[in-house]
Amino acid sequence: MTVTIDRAAKARRPRRPAEARESDGRLAFWLVIPSIVVLGLVILYPVIASIVRSMFGDGIGESPFVGLQNYANALWGLGAADFWGATGFTYFVAAVTIVLETLIGLAMALVMNRAFKGRGILRASVLVPWAIPTAVAAVLWKWAFDPAGIINALTGSTIVWTGSEIPSTIAIIVADTWKTAPFIALLILAGLQVIPDEVYEAAKIDGAGAWQRFLRITLPLVRPALLVAVLFRMLDALRMYDLPWIFTHGSNGTTTLSILTFVFIFVTAYFFVRVLGVNAVESVGGERKERKR
């Protein structure tokens, strides 16, 4: 819909001479094509290959064409338990980490939005968790969650964190929250900083308390930045790989499962964009295209 409106608007606009547009188009083609080739090789080709491969059975030598049988297996056949288990786990971890990260990030951003000495140092230290490679962070948290490690020593417990499902889930959530909440905080902080001080002044004069100002001014005005941060975070969280892998060497997704995962991520993103109204005109155009697959 947005695309057609766009075109109509363009058609009404006075245009430059046809020749100039022509050369614009040719130049643009040569400028954009290197990126498109790399993306095509690394993303599009593998995706198409996966889709084709997912229509064939497993086996040595000639693998028979089975149509959508693999998908059926994964969704309600033999693999259903594994697939829904993994999907449920992914969504659960994503939901919990996103809620935690958003709350902690919002709190951090509100504090950092005040004037204070040593602002630069604090902002640099907030970037530290973001800058540490996930592989290093995973090793670090694995050590912290070791049965003889610091977490058990501090909490006085003797849990074998990486040994069973619930403790290792908690460990993964803690590690991921630590790594990403500061990043969310920076995104929200950028949103907070464009709110003019005059709005708060006016509200104060009108007798609004701190809590009221937060609910009626800060939250609505920071909402766009907040939603986009959450959307990006969600896409990342649903694709999380290295952290759980180094932690528990959990099972890998097969080709079929991965494509389904993408569809799931896509549908989630789509709902998010549509229902919550994240301002993303271009993205809707892009996602439309994906959905036809």
Partner 1 sequence: MSIATRPATGTAPGPTSHESTPRRRRLRWDLPGLYVGLIAIAIFCLAPFYWMVVSSLKAPNEIFDNSLIPRHPTLMNYEAVFGAQNTFVLALRNSLIIAGCVTVVALVFGVIAAYAIARLNFRGKNLVLGLFLATSMFPGVAILTPLFQLFADWGWIDTYQAMIVPDISFSLPLGVWILTSFFRAMPWELEAAARVDGCTRGQAFRRIILPLAVPGVFTTAILVFISAWNEYMIANSMSQTPASQPVTVAIAQFSGISQYDTPYGTQMAAGVVVTIPLIVLVLIFQRRIISGLTAGGVK
Q: What is the crossing angle of helices 80-112 and 165-193, to 10°?
A: 40
Tell me whether residue 169 or residue 246 sits nearer to partner 1 (CB atom).
246
If one asks whether residue 229 binds partner 1 (CB under 8 A), the answer comes out as yes
If one asks whether residue 241 binds partner 1 (CB under 8 A), the answer comes out as yes
Tell me whether residue 81 or residue 155 sits nearer to partner 1 (CB atom).
155
Q: Residue from 167, 235, 250, 272 that binds partner 1 (CB under 8 A)?
A: 235
If one asks whether residue 271 binds partner 1 (CB under 8 A), the answer comes out as no
If one asks whether residue 5 binds partner 1 (CB under 8 A), the answer comes out as no
Residue 96, SS3 per DSSP = helix
If one asks whether residue 95 binds partner 1 (CB under 8 A), the answer comes out as no
CA–CA distance, 177 with 105 (Å, rounded to integer): 10
* 119-158 positions binding partner 1, by CB under 8 A: 119-120, 122-129, 131-144, 146, 148-150, 153
Asked if residue 246 lies in contact with residue 133, where contact means CB atoms within 8 angstroms, the answer is no
Asked if residue 283 lies in contact with residue 273, where contact means CB atoms within 8 angstroms, the answer is yes
If one asks whether residue 58 binds partner 1 (CB under 8 A), the answer comes out as no
If one asks whether residue 83 binds partner 1 (CB under 8 A), the answer comes out as no
If one asks whether residue 285 binds partner 1 (CB under 8 A), the answer comes out as yes
If one asks whether residue 24 binds partner 1 (CB under 8 A), the answer comes out as yes
Q: Residue from 115, 166, 205, 275 that binds partner 1 (CB under 8 A)?
A: 115
Q: Which stretch binds partner 1 (CB under 8 A): 38-46, 55-63, 73-81, 92-100?
A: 38-46
If one asks whether residue 252 binds partner 1 (CB under 8 A), the answer comes out as yes
- Residue whose C-alpha is closest to residue 264's, from 289, 239, 245: 239
Shortest distance, position 43 Cβ to partner 1, whole Å: 5
If one asks whether residue 92 binds partner 1 (CB under 8 A), the answer comes out as no
CA–CA distance, 172 with 168 (Å, rounded to integer): 6
* 156-175 positions binding partner 1, by CB under 8 A: none
Asked if residue 250 lies in contact with residue 244, where contact means CB atoms within 8 angstroms, the answer is yes
Shortest distance, position 136 Cβ to partner 1, whole Å: 4
SS (H, E, C) 151-204: HHHHHCCCCCCCCCHHHHHHHHHHHHHHHHHHHHHHHHHHHHHCCCHHHHHHHH
Q: 């097969």: which residue's tokens?
A: 254
Asked if residue 161 lies in contact with residue 147, where contact means CB atoms within 8 angstroms, the answer is yes
Beta bridge partners of 56: 65
- Residue whose C-alpha is closest to residue 123's, from 101, 133, 108, 140: 108
Q: Residue from 6, 92, 160, 202 that binds partner 1 (CB under 8 A)?
A: 6
Each residue 181-210 as x (binds partner 1 by CB under 8 A) or -, in order, gives xxx--xx--xx-xx--x-------------
Q: Residue from 1, 18, 19, 35 that binds partner 1 (CB under 8 A)?
A: 35
